[in-house]
Each structure stands twice: as structure tokens, then as C-alpha cells.
Chain A
Amino acid sequence: MDYDLSKPQKMLQQSVREFCQRQCPLEKVREIMETDTAQDPELWQGIADQGWIGLHLSEDLGGLGLALVDLAVVAEELGRACLPGPFLSTTWAATLISKSGHEAAAKKYLADLCEGSKIATVACFEEESGWAAEEYSTIKANESGDGVLLSGSKQLVGDAAVADIMIVAARGDKGLTLALIETSADGVSIKATPGIDATRKLYEVKFENVPGTVLAIGDDAKRALTESQQVGNVAVCAELVGSMQWMLETTVEYARTRKQFDQIIGSFQAVQHKCADMLLATESSRSAALYAAWALSESTDDADRAVSIAKLFCADSAQKVGGNAVQVHGGIGFTWEHDLHMFYKRNKANEFLFGDSTFHREHVALIAIDAA
């Protein structure tokens, strides 16, 4: 049993960290988040050139054929840098295309996504439903020739304004239908709905008889969507861990230098204990996030449970870590000037993405109580 990252994984970690420090320091994050789309084409191309988009996809699909632990390694570093832009959206969409088993779509789009020449997202969430695949209903998919025509609206669609293609979870005659559309098609209207996290923009997307290619229907669609969300959650958990790590290091550094009453505040136990709690929460989250990535990669019996546990644990921990970080910083931690709020807000958005803690606690309970 070896819980440690392998040598190549440690090298990958190092190169992502250095890339972020060089290409996207926090001043740059601020610049990008002030733009309409939070997408910087040069930065995006840089990430794509490293091969990190779709790195977990097989090589014949344009990926690097790496494991989900490697995806987690990359996502943790991107989270640590609070890197803006459509990495999660595109990773999710690419995973979904690949999981849907639609070879033509995979051939047509995945290589472009991995190379950075196209951006993709998934339109899933609706106001009256949550993240469970069977709940989507607002969008109607009507059959037309060899495809479908989509009508309805979706919320909280990440990076829709910069996406070239979008996969829509819709309801058709044969149940859940995953349809791929071009965002430039007639009948697509995209409206910015600014959220708490300015580094990743959210949109409301309306569809009016938009033609789409069907990727999967019914049980196949449900399985593909669920599995893509699990992969998404692996990345989100790793991002949360990276964010917590940044908060921990930044806060400890502050506690080591800031003086009050002529003393380093880190010598006060009230402050020390908050920092120790941050360490415990961050490290425990890392244990959970890495295990979820590994279990899902290996398709272990408990992979589904492992992902839900990681998500609820990382999300709840990020709240505690973020709260302590602001509190230990005192007044400066509450300002726009300090970088903390960017991480604090990103964590909140990530907390909701692919199901919040209440959703996943129920799922864990379901497995424990009803499925045994």
C-alpha cells in the first residue's frame, strides 16, 4: 500500500505549480476576473500546450492516457493558484463526450478540446432540480431527423459565453437525453448571471428549437452523466484541497510575522489552534480527495461512496479553513485588497458544483442504509 504520489506525479505537480507561478500569479488572476468572460486565450493555450486538458483521456482521443490521480494533481495546483477560466467546464464536457461512447463526436471534438482550439461546457442545472441526473425536465428534446431540437433553459452554466460547444442534459421521449450543440447555433441565447466567484463566470442559457446531436439516451445517458460528474467532483475536491493549502500557508505566514501587544500573534494559542485546525482539515481533505481519485480510477466497489465522502468532506473543510483564514488575518483578511477573498469565493462556488454537502451526505446515507 502506497498513499504517496509517484515520482512522475510529483514532477507533474511541480511543473503545474511553476507554470501557475509564472503564467498566472494572483495579480493576473485579478486582471482576468475583472473581464467579462474570465478567459485569457494566451493562458488557455499555455495550459493546453502542456497537455493538461483532458490528460485523463486516452491517447487516441487526444489525451495523455493518465489516471484520475494525475488529474487531481493538476487540479490541486490550479486550485492553489485560483486559476481562472474554463478548465473545469472543458474537463467535464470532454469527460462526458468520452463517457457517452459516441465515437463520431469524440473524434470530431475531443482532440480540439485537448489542443485548446475549442472550449466546451455542460448545461445541466435547472432551478427546480438539483444534480441528480433523473431530475432534469425543463428542457425538452424533440426528435428531428437524426438529431433533436432543444427548447427550454438552463442555469449556472459555466463559461457558456466562451464555449464553442455545449452538452445539454435534456428530457426526451425516451428519458434523459444528452445532446451536443454548437453555441453559435440559432436559438441559443446566453445571459451572464454573475455569481460569487468572479474567476469563473456563470450563465443562464435559453434554447429555442436548437438542433443538437444526440450523444446518449436513457440509462446510457444517465450513467455517462453521473460518471462525468464523479470525475468532475474529483477535480473539484482537488481544487478545494489546493485552495485550502494556499489559505493554510498564507495564514501561517501571516501569523508568523504579524505582531500585536509586541508579540508575534502566532505565539497565541487561540491563533495556533485555529491554524492547527486548518492543517488537520486540509490534510484530512487531501486523504479523502486522493482516495476518491484513486478509487474511481480503479473502479473499486466503493468508488461512488468515496467520491461523495470526498466532496462533502472537502466542501465542509474548505468552509472551516476559509473562515479561520479570514479570522486569523483580522481586518486585512476582510478587504478586497487581500487575495483571500478570491479563494474564499471560489470555494463557495465549488461547494455547490456537482452537489453540495447535504446532497452527498444523503447519498452516503443511502449507500450505508439502503443499499447494504
Chain B
Amino acid sequence: MDLNLTPDEQSFRDELRAWLKENVPEEYDGQRGGEDSDGYWQYLRDWQKKLFDGGWAGVSWPTEFGGRGATPIQQSIFLQETIAAGAPEHLGVIGEGLVGPTIIVAGTEEQKAKYLPRILSGEDVWCQGFSEPNAGSDVAALGTKAVLDGDEWVVNGQKIWTSFAQGSDLCFLLVRTDFDVPKHKGITALLVDMKSQGITRKPLRQMSGDSGFNELFFSDMRVPVANQLGPLNQGWKICITALMNERTNLGSSMFTFFDQAVDGLIEHARTRKRNGKLLSECPLKRQKIGQAVADLEVYRLNIARALSRMEKDSTPGPEGSMLKIYWSEMYQRLSQASMEILGDVSQLKDFDGGEWVYRYLRSKGSTIEGGTSEIQRCILAERVLGLPKSY
């Protein structure tokens, strides 16, 4: 056991830090959502292009596909350092973390050549069309239907909770191509141009007020057969790999986000007063702060341990479910404790630009998205502990 960074990991970090110091742009000063969102999307695309030109796009991808061949630990260093340096949010989360790796595994040579470079350069932004109104946790029950007509699939149906759909160019879409076989065996993956005829997008407003998600409606949308990813009816197998990746990625990138929140909280506790006393003088608030710091630190250690294991076993296992449960539930505890510590004024939208309110509300989605806490617990019970399947 040796938790020091290896010389390779250290030089990776130092090189990245130096690059980030020169290249991270000023914070975006315009409106991020609503009618003016185009400017923000361009800002994010510009950042992705900068990463690409600097050789920092797709760090975990194999070098033959334009990546840097980074180890899981290096990838985690990348995610943490970019957030710590105040870099813009990562536009390529879905393209780079989910779609690209899946195309690398399952795509044709033409697909690889066509899509992979444009993911890294930020020219193509991807969204992911998995969930449907009646296929949430049971996503394999999806009913969006594709029927073959000549050399085109004709797609009808609806997707929901599609993140990034408002500004994306392409969609990694799962459709039902066979209704007469068990549900996992009749799904096919399609790579869909978002400018196709027959797609309607509608933003979904969340309780936090922003619209990170969308609904997509398909009415006789035509998709060339050449855009089918992997063999017919093998879409589920393909997307399981993708979902495993999603969980692991989410884990590391969230750490710095929480770390900054805890730092902000402690700064307030040191300086703000209540009933004539500093917040940090109240023993109960101190207990909550101590707990938040401990929770976060154990999260950091859990990530480090999972990454260390991945370096040896290469593929992410169901342990990813552990990280997902841990961070999403910690996010809720942390947001709740923050408002308790800060007190009444923390509910005001002008207090720190509403960030505490935002975290309090947004964290409610985290135990649902990417597999609910309940589903994750079932995965652990069955695949790690060997208990019988319950659904």
C-alpha cells in the first residue's frame, strides 16, 4: 500500500496544472440558460476546442483514437484539477465519457473515423436518449420503436431526462427493434443527427428552476442503417458498458465540486455571526461541519481505492454503484447541513447567488439520475453480495 502519486502520475498532474494556468478562460458572464444560452454553448465549445488543441481532450481514450491513454488515476487527476482550476463545465461528458468509448468498442471503422475526432474537438456535442416516461429504472422496457424501411430506420416514440439535448448535435439513442423477444434482447443502438426531420425538443424545468434536461419526441424520424451502432438487437449489451463508465466518471468529477462547497461553508462559519456569536462557536454547528469534512474525505478515499483497483482490473465493476450511492446521498446530507449551519438567510436567492438553495434542490435529483439509490442497492445485493434477484 502506497498512496503517494507515482512519478508518472505526478508529472501528468504538474504538466496539466501548468497548462491549465495558462489556458483556463475567464468565467462566463452572460446568462447560462433560457433564450441566451447559445452564447454559453459557444463558450463551452471554445473550451473543448482549446482542450483538444492542447492535447487534453479524451485523456482516457487510447492514443490511436486521439486520446492520451491516461490511466484511471490520471483521468481522475484530470477531472479534479480542471474543476479546481475553475475551468468551464465539461461539454463532452456524454460524448467523451459515454459515446466515444462505446463507439471505440462497438463501432465500424467508418463510424470511428466519422465521429471520434469530432467528439474530441468539440465540433459534435452528444446527448443520450435512454430513459422514457415508462422506462426509468427499468430502462430495458423502453418502447421507442424503430422499423426498417429500405436502408433506413423509421423511429417513433419519446425520450425524457435527456441531458444536454438543448445544444447537442447528435444523440446516442436506444430503440426497440424487436417486440417479440425478452426486453433486453430487442434493443438496438442508433447514432442520430439531431437535425433530422421529425425530432421535437422540449426543455424540462427542474425544481431548481434550471433546465438541464429535455424531452425528445420522434415522429417518423428516418435514420440511415449505416448509423446503427453494433449488431441488431445488441443495444442493451452495448449500453451496459456505457452505463458502467458513466457511474465511474461521475464519481471523480464530483469531488472537487463538493470540496469547494465545504470550503465555502467553513469560510462562512468563520466570519458570519448569529445571536452575536460566530457560527463556528456553536458546538452543534461544529459537529455538523466535522461530519461534512469526514464524509467528504471518506468519499475521496473511496474514489482513490476504486481507481487503484481499476488500474489492476481495468473494467469498472458493480462497485461503481457504491460510489454512486455514497456521493449522491452525501450531496443531500451536505446540502441539508449547509443550510442548517448558515441559517435562515441561506434560503435567499441573493445569498451567494443562491448556490446553497441550488445545491439543496439539485441534490434531490442525484439519488434518482444515473440509476436510483434503490436500484444501486439491488445491484450491490445481487452482483456483489450474491443475493437472489428481486425484480
Q: Smallest distance from the beta carbon of A16 to chain B beta carbons, Å?
A: 16
Interface residues of B in 216-255 (CB under 8 A from A): none
Interface residues of A in 285-320 (CB under 8 A from B): 287-288, 290-291, 294-295, 298, 305-306, 308-309, 312-313
Closest to A67 in B: B1
Taken together as a complex, chains A and B put the C-alpha atoms of A372 and B286 apart, in Å, by 15
Contacts A362-B290, A363-B290 given; does A283 touch B6 at CB 8 Å:
no
B286 in contact with A362 (CB, 8 Å): yes
Interface residues of A in 114-137 (CB under 8 A from B): none
B298 in contact with A284 (CB, 8 Å): yes
For A312, the chain B residues whose CB sits under 8 A away are 290-291, 294
Taken together as a complex, chains A and B put the C-alpha atoms of A43 and B375 apart, in Å, by 46
Interface residues of B in 22-45 (CB under 8 A from A): none
Q: Smallest distance from the beta carbon of A363 to chain B beta carbons, Å?
A: 7
B346 at the interface (CB under 8 A from A): no
A369 in contact with B3 (CB, 8 Å): no
A4 in contact with B294 (CB, 8 Å): no
Q: Smallest distance from the beta carbon of B367 to chain A beta carbons, Å?
A: 13
Q: Mark A1-13, 1 if CB is under 8 A from B, else 0.
A: 1111110010000
A269 in contact with B294 (CB, 8 Å): no
For A364, the chain B residues whose CB sits under 8 A away are 290, 293-294
**Which of the candidate stretches A103-111, A174-182, A271-279 sits at the interface with the other chain?**
A271-279
A1 in contact with B3 (CB, 8 Å): yes
A264 at the interface (CB under 8 A from B): yes
A279 in contact with B385 (CB, 8 Å): yes
By secondary structure, the B interface counts as helix
**Which of the candidate stretches B59-67, B194-202, B299-307 sits at the interface with the other chain?**
B299-307
Taken together as a complex, chains A and B put the C-alpha atoms of A287 and B378 apart, in Å, by 22
B326 at the interface (CB under 8 A from A): yes
Q: Mark A335-370, 1 if CB is under 8 A from B, else 0.
A: 000000000000000000000001011111110111
Interface residues of B in 327-373 (CB under 8 A from A): none
The interface centre, meaning the residue of B4, B298, B376, B384 with most chain A CB atoms within 10 A of its CB, is B298
Q: Which of B2, B270, B283, B390 is in CB contact (< 8 Å) with A362?
A: B283
Taken together as a complex, chains A and B put the C-alpha atoms of A256 and B389 apart, in Å, by 11
Taken together as a complex, chains A and B put the C-alpha atoms of A321 and B283 apart, in Å, by 27
A287 in contact with B301 (CB, 8 Å): yes
Closest to A263 in B: B388
Closest to A272 in B: B381
A-B interface contact total, Cβ < 8 Å:
152
B289 at the interface (CB under 8 A from A): yes
Q: Mark B319-331, 1 if CB is under 8 A from A, else 0.
A: 0001001100000
Q: Smallest distance from the beta carbon of B70 to chain A beta carbons, Å?
A: 13
Taken together as a complex, chains A and B put the C-alpha atoms of A271 and B381 apart, in Å, by 9
- Which bucket holds chain A's interface residue count? 35 or more
Contacts A4-B309, A361-B294, A368-B266 given; does A279 touch B374 at CB 8 Å:
no
Taken together as a complex, chains A and B put the C-alpha atoms of A131 and B177 apart, in Å, by 67
Interface residues of A in 246-276 (CB under 8 A from B): 252, 255-256, 264, 266-269, 271-273, 275-276
B273 at the interface (CB under 8 A from A): no
B260 at the interface (CB under 8 A from A): no
By secondary structure, the A interface counts as helix
The interface centre, meaning the residue of A2, A5, A255, A290 with most chain B CB atoms within 10 A of its CB, is A2
For A273, the chain B residues whose CB sits under 8 A away are 374, 377-378, 381
For B309, the chain A residues whose CB sits under 8 A away are 3-4
Taken together as a complex, chains A and B put the C-alpha atoms of A4 and B312 apart, in Å, by 10
Taken together as a complex, chains A and B put the C-alpha atoms of A5 and B2 apart, in Å, by 9
A272 in contact with B377 (CB, 8 Å): yes
Contacts A3-B305, A4-B308, A255-B387 given; does A365 touch B5 at CB 8 Å:
no
Taken together as a complex, chains A and B put the C-alpha atoms of A369 and B311 apart, in Å, by 36
For B2, the chain A residues whose CB sits under 8 A away are 1-2, 294
A280 at the interface (CB under 8 A from B): yes
Q: Which of A255, A271, A283, A313 is in CB contact (< 8 Å) with B294?
A: A313
A283 in contact with B1 (CB, 8 Å): no
B297 at the interface (CB under 8 A from A): yes
A69 at the interface (CB under 8 A from B): yes
B286 in contact with A269 (CB, 8 Å): no
Contacts A252-B386, A264-B388, A369-B266 given; does A1 touch B378 at CB 8 Å:
no
For A3, the chain B residues whose CB sits under 8 A away are 1, 3, 304-305, 308-309
Q: Which of B287, B382, B389 is in CB contact (< 8 Å) with A365?
A: B287
Taken together as a complex, chains A and B put the C-alpha atoms of A204 and B301 apart, in Å, by 39
Contacts A264-B388, A272-B387 given; does A361 touch B291 at CB 8 Å:
yes
Q: Smallest distance from the beta carbon of B52 to chain A beta carbons, Å?
A: 27
For B326, the chain A residues whose CB sits under 8 A away are 280, 284
B280 at the interface (CB under 8 A from A): yes
Taken together as a complex, chains A and B put the C-alpha atoms of A308 and B1 apart, in Å, by 20
Q: Smallest distance from the beta carbon of B297 to chain A beta carbons, Å?
A: 5
A283 in contact with B302 (CB, 8 Å): yes
Q: Smallest distance from the beta carbon of A302 to chain B beta carbons, Å?
A: 9
Contacts A266-B381, A313-B298 given; does A291 touch B290 at CB 8 Å:
no
Taken together as a complex, chains A and B put the C-alpha atoms of A283 and B321 apart, in Å, by 12
Instruction: Beyond A267-B390, A287-B302, list 6 extra A-B contacts (CB 8 Å).
Output: A1-B6, A256-B386, A279-B322, A283-B302, A288-B297, A313-B298
Q: Contact residues of B with A, CB < 8 Å?
A: 1-6, 9, 73, 266, 269-270, 280, 283, 286-287, 289-291, 293-294, 297-298, 301-302, 304-305, 307-309, 311-312, 322, 325-326, 374, 376-378, 380-382, 384-391
17 contacts between A and B (CB under 8 A): A1-B5, A2-B1, A3-B3, A3-B304, A5-B1, A268-B390, A275-B385, A279-B385, A280-B325, A290-B1, A312-B291, A312-B294, A358-B287, A360-B290, A364-B293, A365-B293, A369-B266
User: Which 5 A/B pairs are nearest by Cβ-Cβ distance?
Assistant: A361-B290, A272-B381, A365-B290, A3-B308, A276-B377
Q: Contact residues of A with B, CB < 8 Å?
A: 1-6, 9, 69, 252, 255-256, 264, 266-269, 271-273, 275-277, 279-280, 283-284, 287-288, 290-291, 294-295, 298, 305-306, 308-309, 312-313, 358, 360-366, 368-370, 372
